[in-house]
Chain A
Amino acid sequence: MTSLNSVPLTLMVNGQAHDLELPVQATLLDVLRERLHLTGTKKGCDHGQCGACTVLMDGETHLSCLTLALSAQGHEIRTIEGLGGPDGELHPMQAAFIEHDAFQCGYCTPGQILSAVACVEGGHAQNDAELRDFMSGNLCRCAAYPQIFEAVKSMAGERQ
Chain B
Amino acid sequence: MRPFEYARAQSVAEAVGRPGKFLAGGTTLMDLMKLDVERPAHLTDITPLRENGELSQIVEDGGGVKIGALASMSQTAEHPLIAERYPALSQALLAGASQQIRNMASMGGNVMQRTRCPYFRDLAFKECNKRDPGSGCGAIGGHHRKMAILGGSDACIATHASDASVALVAYGAALTLRGPDGERRVKLEDFNLLPGETPHIEHDLREGELIVALTLPAPIAADGVYLKVRDRESYEFALSSCAAVLDVQEGKVNAAHVTLGGVGTRPWRSPEAEAALVGQPATRETFEAAARAALQHAHPLAQNAFKVPLTARVIVRALMQAAGQIDEAGNPTTGANA
Contact surface of A with B, Cβ cutoff 8 Å: 1-5, 7, 23-25, 27, 46-48, 51, 54, 57, 60-63, 65-68, 70-71, 74, 115, 118-119, 132-138
Contacts and interface: CB of A to CB of B under 8 A. Distances in A.
Tell me what chain B mostly uses at the interface: helix, strand, loop, or mixed.
Answer: mixed
Interface string B39-50: 000010101100
Given A1-B8, A2-B5, A47-B34, A71 B45 contact: yes
Given A68-B26, A137-B235, 5 more contacts: A24-B5, A54-B100, A62-B104, A66-B26, A68-B23
30 contacts: A2-B7, A4-B3, A4-B4, A24-B3, A24-B4, A24-B5, A24-B6, A25-B3, A25-B4, A47-B31, A48-B30, A48-B101, A51-B98, A61-B99, A61-B103, A63-B27, A63-B104, A67-B104, A68-B23, A68-B30, A70-B8, A71-B45, A71-B47, A115-B100, A136-B99, A136-B233, A136-B235, A137-B97, A137-B100, A138-B98
A7 B6 contact: yes
Given A68-B23, A133-B234, A3 B5 contact: yes
Contact of B7 (A1, A5, A63, A136): A1
A50 to B, nearest CB: 10
B222 interface: no
B297 interface: no
Contact of A115 (B2, B7, B99, B104): B99
B5 A132 contact: no
Contacts, number: 96
A46 B6 contact: no
Contact of A71 (B4, B26, B100, B235): B26
Contacts of B47: 71
A156 B206 CA distance: 48
Contacts of B1: 25, 27
Of the listed residues B74, B100, B235, the one surrounded by the most CB atoms of chain A closer than 10 A to its CB is B100
Interface of B: 1-8, 23, 26-27, 30-31, 33-35, 43, 45, 47-48, 74, 94, 97-101, 103-104, 233-235
Contacts of B103: 57, 60-62
A91 B31 CA distance: 32
Contacts of A119: 99
Contact of B31 (A48, A60, A136): A48
B5 A63 contact: no
A129 to B, nearest CB: 9
Contacts of B8: 1, 70
Contacts of A74: 48
Nearest to A71: B47
A67 B30 contact: yes
Contacts of A68: 23, 26, 30, 45
A7 B6 CA distance: 9
A133 B31 contact: no
Contacts of A67: 26, 30, 104
B30 A27 contact: yes
Contacts of B7: 1-3
A71 B50 CA distance: 11
Contacts of A136: 98-99, 233-235
A137 B94 CA distance: 12
A65 B30 CA distance: 9
